[in-house]
Amino acid sequence: MNNLILSLSVEARMIIAEIIALIGLTIIIAIYSNNKIKHLNDKTFYLYNAKNTHTAKIKLSLLPILFFIISLILISVQIAFSWNNLLAKNETINTSQTIASTSQQEVQNTTKSETNNTPAAINNNTNTTNTTETQSKPTENKTNENKTQTNKVSENKTAESKTTASNGKSIAYLTFDDGPSSITNSVLDILKKYNVKATFFVINSGSYNKTTLQREVNEGHTIGLHAYDHNYAIAYKDDNSYLDGIDKLRAKVKADTGFDSHYIRFPGGSSNTISKRYSKGIMSRITKTAKQRGYKYYDWNVDDDDAGRARTADDCYNNVVKELRPNRSNIVLMHDFGTNKKILEALPRIIEYCQKNGYTMLPIDDNTPEIHHGISN
């Protein structure tokens, strides 16, 4: 709830300002109407008969009331829309916190493994060495056990990727959701400058631009499929709604670029709970159906939180640096929707950090381990 309140602050201030402005305008209109009524009283015997004067007075008296009611309805609609968006952001925040907790546990497991794997421990016997190797691999059972102890509420959101193995290599897969948009070409310019390839999980929105998508393909990036319609109420309406939309988006992207994508990312991630509002158990079902249709779905284990609590480029950069882990596959969640200008400042710093610290940056392909969250619906 604290996260929701923090996210609500900007929206709340805007709505409060609108309500104050509404009250002020209503008062002005009321004063205007009152003056007009007085004017009618003065001019009654010259301009109007009694009936017309009475009707005019009623209309003028109702004017500020009608204005106030209509404006209040519009603000109420805005509040409802903003509330739904904030709840969706809160889902992303909760998921990010869960993944960060899991990543921290991985580091602790790795540290314990390195401590046990000292020369003295190696000299003990072969069994000790084997035990150390087993301990150094974070398993799904250990992660779930840690989740139960630390946060029972979110135990089903445990990151449960089948593997994050990278053969000892430190790999970072930079991914961008919700494009293309007005800033996507700027993101591509940055990637081109550093000769880095990334993955773009696209949506069919008003800013959909096949020229931008073609550039992504031409410059060696991967196109993934995010949603035909990102509206949760539409995407998760029933079992067929989301994947039928993905099939349409896949056909559209292929027709526009020649790239036939079978990589998807669910809106809110596979661990989202907002889908429960529209179809209980839908994520459990469509994750299986997606695989049956030949799709691979990718969540993430690093989040810059640019669609959540991150307000500045520094926040985005620090979140990524904090969650990156060496010697594993890191799938980094970012967004290239039109208003996310802060990512344009953070992205070069993220790339430079990866380059300086030995991370290889790659686009998602069939060899990329599928990072999956725990299903919560």
Query: What is the CATH number that goes with domain 160-361?
Result: 3.20.20.370
Answer with the residue of higher pLDDT: 353 or 41: 353
Q: Give per-residue pLDDT as tens, 299-322.
A: 999 999 999 999 999 999 999 999
What size, in residues, is the chain? 377
At 52 the pLDDT is 61
Query: Residue 164 in contact with residue 189, Cβ under 8 Å?
Result: no
pTM of the model: 0.62
- The 8-class DSSP code of residue 229 comes to S
The alpha carbon torsion through 195, 197, 198, 203 (nearest 10 deg) reads 100
**Domain ranges within the chain, ordered by starting residue:** 1-157, 160-361
Q: Give per-residue pLDDT as tens, 332-370.
A: 999 999 999 999 999 999 999 999 999 999 999 999 999
Average pLDDT, the chain: 79
Query: Residue 264 in contact with residue 298, Cβ under 8 Å?
Result: yes
Residues 58-92: b if buried by 16+ CB within 10 A, e if exposed = eebeebbeebbeebeeeeeeeeeebeeebebbbbb
**Confidence category of residue 73, pLDDT binned at 50, 70, 90:** confident
What value does the mean pLDDT take over residues 58-80? 76
| Max intra-chain CA distance, the chain | 114
At 330 the pLDDT is 99
At 88 the pLDDT is 56
